[in-house]
Amino acid sequence: MSYRGEVKGGVIVLEGVALPDGTVVRVEPVSKRAKRKNKGGFDPAFTIGELAVETGLKDLATNADHYLYGHPKVTHGR
């Protein structure tokens, strides 16, 4: 489970949550882009680009089925 909050005066204040003293938590800052809201509140899709990594595969888009499922590689066209 995750909770939202913000830092106020050097203290992390959670929204509508009171955890008991001694509760171990993990804190990660949220990017400014991720703070944007839609009608339902926070949408993790706003941060999907932060998960992108360089794979070194120049034909990944063309051959996604090969890399994911072992289908034969496409060697022509795009």
Is 75 domain-assigned?
no
- Residue 50 has a pLDDT of 83
Is 43 domain-assigned?
yes
Residue type, 64: A
Q: What is the pLDDT of residues 27-47, one digit of tens each?
A: 888 766 555 555 556 677 878
pTM: 0.38
Is 34 domain-assigned?
yes
Give CA–CA dist 35/46, Å, rounded. 8
The residue ranges of DSSP E strands in the chain, in sequence order, are: 5-8, 11-14, 37-38, 41-42
Residue type, 26: R
How many domains does the structure of the chain reveal?
A: 1
Is 15 domain-assigned?
yes
| Residue 45 lies in domain | 5-69
Is 41 domain-assigned?
yes
Residue 44 and residue 35 in contact, taking contact as beta carbons nearer than 8 Å: no
Is 77 domain-assigned?
no
Give CA–CA dist 35/41, Å, rounded. 9
- pLDDT > 90? residue 64: yes
